[in-house]
Chain A
């Protein structure tokens, strides 16, 4: 028992030392809140005509490549603290990637590294999960109508494109988190990163069609730091 305690103590000490040297390791967390906005006139959302499986998929699909809401807020952008450490917390529920109506739901899924995800096919038609990875194996697995749920695991942090070749408009993203400080923007382009250690941080936003951008933010314990990103069409 005592041995165990000493090991734990050592580990805690080591963690503290390591954490202390890193940029974002300070004690006492704050939060970062902000918005991701579109700069310029947002293009009209693309609409794709559905040419097969209309009963399951409907007649047309709005492309989710770029969704700009009221006030030019961009939905589905991923905001993260660059270089943050520590394991991402286990999600309370097993993450779910749904394909209902021949559309990936959510469009951008946050997933802690090493976590399993249930991939669901309630449509009664064939889908296939085709991922474009570099760190993880790129998989391409069929999910016929009778295979309601498949489980996959993503071990290494990276942003992975997911598509279904059977329905060319189906596109989604799995963001495998390296650390806890990730958020996806909501309809209005707003996001919130909780429990960010106090100190100076680089915050990065990534959007599938608009690319990446970073900003410096100073987080103080107790008070939310504000940051606004403006992304333009490349």
Chain B
């Protein structure tokens, strides 16, 4: 009992409880910096508590004194003598050897809007501005419906079908797109504030609240005033929130600046980044329960409780109709902009099934796709809906296909699982070649086979074979089990056939699946910063040189450009991999990206040159201020280092997506070379590090600079504004050959040990002396 009364024990107990509470009790997890701040405050509070009076303090110090002085505590003392220095040494090592992280960015959640904005030549006073459409009471429903169509055609890519900021482009951006279902966003704002943010976007944000780096485009040129008010009405209607009203005393502006931390390096804990997110999730879907089971393709876990189609219809009309259409024919208002197109339910042809080729899917198959979504497409997972709703949806979807579902689905058996091994991979490769997967998917699996350009789905739309190196985009899930299931059943409605009757032995589907899994990384970890390594001597020009394989790769996701014409809703290049090094005089970037065909401009075939560009702020701003990410803006120019399959390496200055001016002659300092093989480009682009000319790009060591990436697949008709692009990222030239990690930690260990000895000796002398 006395243990509990000991102040020391109490203090330790409180600190442990506080630690657990802050570390694991807050969801989503608080950034590390915030956490340490909380812990510090807790520590101070505990110290105040234990030192509140003399007795308390003595009780607190007693066990510490005892440990230092008592002979009976000698073993504990010895253990601590060794442990503490090691602990400090380890901490010093983690600090000294830490990889560079992007600096934290403080930004305002709701920056103050200007008093008035000019909108298409008209001045609108933001203060006190009301949504004019709300006065037209009889037509409110109509406006909301029209707003929904505007939303699905323009906003859904980033902000998502569920308005949760989790659209299929969302993982590309930092800061992430606003989550309208979060009570901290539109529920706290007046409609006028939303109008301003939609009309003026990221470029219209006030300087005081920089760095915002918002990718949000300014929609004023694309959406009319009425369109914007309609979409605002839809946002409130769909989320169920009420806009904040202007208070009677007009002085109450939008909420005061609120500061929040958005440290880039920690985004994975706070905001879902793509590998962890719902979409493009590389983690194998939990198929054992719901989808593929052992032995048969259908899981036993599925209880045959049928849903209610009438209820399903109501949910369908709210959640599915805008893409899949009123008649379920995949022809909703958003459909023409999507690739792959939304499923046409009237044919009963479904890609992801456990049933044999030509057969209808099971209820469990349909349920699973509704719940999990389809990675690599605009179909999100609908786990936000209660399970009953999803079952009702299954029941309703089946009614679109007439009588087709009256027939019981014929489920295919999955052969007994074969684990991946050297032998399995060898057999898989042999079969991959024998059954000619490469015909569509290409020799390296990058979706670049000779039949690729001609492939069409059953509706006559061009369809791309899967890039087998990117398993996180596999429509039916990334696990070997899922890949094997696709080989068994084929993907109905697409050119992907069923292979189960035409492999040499049934288990070959497992070998091929294991081999397919070996073609690319298990999952994709996107980078948050681009460190540039120091190297000695000449940097190789050849992109295929061994040197480059030794450099660590950094992957950056890209999204389609959807604000300027021609818009790119279905970008072909979804990521680039970058390796970067610098020498005394030069900086070099090695860029790798997948593109199924090397293409040249051809007006007849409607193809353009393949291109890639690295974007830098021409004048690196103070602090973290950056130009608008889409090729800069009027007052903030960017410099592009670019390569094109037509003209090779070049440079350009830009002040906007439509204002790109190529540099000529001596102004072009970049040099480089690209190679193409098996559906992949590799490029080396080099440039002097600069510094002498203040108006030119400079790459000094140790400074955080900004870089962004753009790519065009000319063979897919991408050119000009039709491209894919990344967010801004930090780039930093690392200090050369630092030996800090090997020197500092041992020093820390020695110093700690010495201090310990001093403390003990000092304490003893005082006790024995006194």
Question: CB within 8 Å of B: which residues of A?
Answer: 51-52, 125-126, 128-133, 136-147, 150, 165-168
Contact = CB atoms under 8 A, between A and B. Distances in A.
Main secondary structure on chain B at its contact with chain A? loop
A138 B358 contact: yes
Contacts of A168: 451, 454-455
B29 to A, nearest CB: 46
Contact of A52 (B450, B496, B501): B450
Contacts of B440: 165-166
A116 to B, nearest CB: 14
Nearest 8 pairs between A and B by C-beta?
A137-B358, A165-B495, A126-B436, A168-B454, A142-B497, A139-B358, A128-B497, A144-B435
A139 B357 contact: yes
18 contacts: A51-B450, A52-B439, A52-B451, A128-B495, A128-B497, A129-B497, A131-B358, A140-B358, A140-B497, A141-B490, A141-B501, A141-B502, A142-B490, A144-B499, A165-B451, A165-B455, A165-B456, A166-B439
Contacts of B646: none
Given A130-B495, A130-B497, A137 B359 contact: yes
B452 to A, nearest CB: 11
Given A52-B450, A166-B439, A145 B434 contact: yes
A146 B358 contact: no
Contacts of A125: 436
Given A128-B497, A140-B492, A166 B502 contact: no
A131 to B, nearest CB: 8
B499 A138 contact: no
A51 B455 CA distance: 14
B498 A141 contact: yes
A143 B451 CA distance: 16
Contacts of B490: 140-142
B498 A140 contact: yes
Contacts of A128: 495, 497
B504 interface: yes
Contacts of B358: 131, 133, 136-140
Interface residues of B, number: 27
Q: Which residue, of B357, B434, B455, has the highest number of chain A Cβ atoms within 10 A?
A: B357
A142 B499 contact: yes
Contacts of B436: 125-126, 144-145, 166
Contact of B502 (A131, A139, A143): A143
B481 interface: no
Interface in B455-475: 455-456, 458
A144 B496 contact: no
B732 interface: no
A62 to B, nearest CB: 18
Contacts of A165: 440, 451, 454-456, 495, 497
Contact of B458 (A129, A132, A142, A146): A132
Interface of B: 349, 357-359, 434-436, 439-440, 450-451, 454-456, 458, 490, 492, 494-499, 501-504
A138 to B, nearest CB: 5
A57 B494 CA distance: 23
A173 to B, nearest CB: 16
Contacts of A139: 357-358, 498
A126 B435 contact: yes
Nearest to A133: B358
Contacts of A52: 439, 450-451
Nearest to A144: B435
A145 B436 CA distance: 9
Contacts of A130: 495, 497
A126 B436 CA distance: 6
Contacts of B435: 126, 142, 144
A147 B502 contact: yes
A144 B359 contact: no
Contacts of A136: 358
Contacts of A133: 358
A146 B497 contact: no
Contacts of B494: 140
Contact of B434 (A131, A141, A146, A166): A146
B498 A150 contact: no
A164 to B, nearest CB: 9
A136 B357 CA distance: 12
A166 B455 CA distance: 8
Nearest to B503: A144
A121 B250 CA distance: 80
A150 B498 CA distance: 13
A110 to B, nearest CB: 21
Contacts of B450: 51-52
Contact of A138 (B451, B492, B504): B492
Nearest to A126: B436
